[in-house]
A = this chain, B = another copy of it.
Amino acid sequence: MTYCVGMRLNRGLVFMSDTRTNAGVDNFASTRKMFHWCVPGERAITVMTAGNLATTQAMISLLEERFKASEDRDPSILTQPTMFQVARLVGATLKEVIAYSAPSGPDSADQFSASVIVGGQIKGGQPTIFLVYPEGNFIEISEETPFFQIGEAKYGKPILVRAYDAEMPFEDVLKLLLVSFDSTVKSNLSVGLPFDVHVYEEEAFHCDRTHRIEQDDPVYNEIASKWGDALKTAFDLLPDYKV
Contact = CB atoms under 8 A, between A and B. Distances in A.
Interface of A: 154-159, 161-163, 170-172, 174-176, 178-179, 183-184, 186-187, 197, 199, 209-211, 219-220, 222-223, 226-235, 237-243
Nearest to A165: B232
Contacts of A159: 158, 231
Given A163-B228, A231-B234, A243-B199, A158 B172 contact: no
Interface of A is mostly: helix
Given A158-B159, A158-B187, A171 B240 contact: yes
Given A155-B157, A235-B176, A162 B243 contact: no
A237 B230 contact: yes
Given A155-B154, A157-B155, A158-B186, A174 B233 contact: no
Contacts of A171: 240-242
B154 A209 contact: no
Nearest to A228: B162
Contact of A219 (B170, B184, B239): B239
Contacts of A209: 243
A230 B238 contact: yes
A77 B169 CA distance: 58
Contacts of A157: 155, 187
B158 A235 contact: no
A155 B160 CA distance: 11
Copies in the complex: 2
Contacts of A220: 241
A167 to B, nearest CB: 12
A179 to B, nearest CB: 8
A151 to B, nearest CB: 12
Nearest to A177: B241
A158 B161 contact: no
Nearest to A161: B186
Contacts of A231: 159, 162-163, 234
A202 to B, nearest CB: 16
B229 A237 contact: yes
Contacts of A234: 227, 230-231, 233-234
Nearest to A154: B154
A243 B170 contact: yes
A170 B156 CA distance: 26
